[in-house]
Amino acid sequence: MEEKGKSTVFDCHIIQLSRIENATGNVTSVSSYQDIPFDIKRVYYLYDIPGGESRGGHAHKRLEQLITAASGSFNVVLDDGKNKKNINLNLPNYGLFIRPGIWRELVNFSSGAAVIAIASTIYDEDDYIRDYQEFIRYKI
Ligand code: TYD
């Protein structure tokens, strides 16, 4: 088991997913252990995001996640307390794998952007760190 506070932004990476091309529209699928290194327990979407808004602004203690741009584009700013990484997501067949213990903010949403988030746990508010100073203490 990974030590909870030790993950860095360099442990988070882009995963290329399948893209099955079809004249009537393309298909991308995500399967546990084939495409992502965890069991899928929950999928949620972010949509109807007003211009100028940001989402996220928290870290998770246990949850692992893949974030994709189902449509449109946005940026994910990852922060491990020491290093930051800014990643643009704009293709539905590429996802960003985020380890536990990483502060993330989703910013710069294009109009009509939709986010699919695939998570390793069901929703659990106790898994969230929503205060940045608490996050920094957690990482020490
Ligand atoms: P939050 O995780 O803060 O959103 P984001 O990280 O995208 O900015 O969730 C926003 C609200 O939705 C918050 O009240 C918790 C609730 N929520 C659920 O009830 N279930 C879920 O699976 C998620 C992701 C959020």
Provide DSSP, 9-40.
GGG-EEEEPP-B--TT--B----BTTTBSS--
Which pLDDT score, from 0 to 100, does residue 2 have?
Answer: 53
What pLDDT digit, counting tens, does each position of 73-101 carry? 999 999 999 999 999 999 999 999 999 99
Model pTM score:
0.95
pLDDT band at residue 1 under the 50/70/90 scheme: very low
Q: Give the Cα separation of 1 and 13 in Å (integer).
A: 19
Identify the pLDDT of residue 84.
Answer: 98
Query: What number does the ligand 1 atom closest to the CA of 55 have?
Result: 8
Please give the average per-residue pLDDT across 102-125, as a whole number.
98
Residue 4 confidence class, pLDDT cut points 50, 70, 90: low
Average pLDDT over residues 94-120: 98
Q: Percent of the chain scored above 90 by pLDDT?
A: 95
Residue among 58, 61, 62, 85 flagged as catalytic = 58
Average per-residue pLDDT for the chain: 96
Phi, psi at 24, each rounded to 5° = -100, 10
Distance of CA 121 to the CA centre of its chain: 13
Q: How far is the CA of 34 from the centre of ligand 1 (A)?
A: 27
Dist. CA 35–CA 118, nearest whole Å: 12
**Per-residue burial over 86-116, b = 16 or more CB atoms within 10 Å of its CB, e = otherwise:** ebebeebbbbbbbbbbbbbbbeebeeebbbb
47 lines ligand 1 (CB under 6 A): no
User: pLDDT tier at 129 (50, 70, 90 boundaries)?
Assistant: very high
* Length in residues, the chain: 140
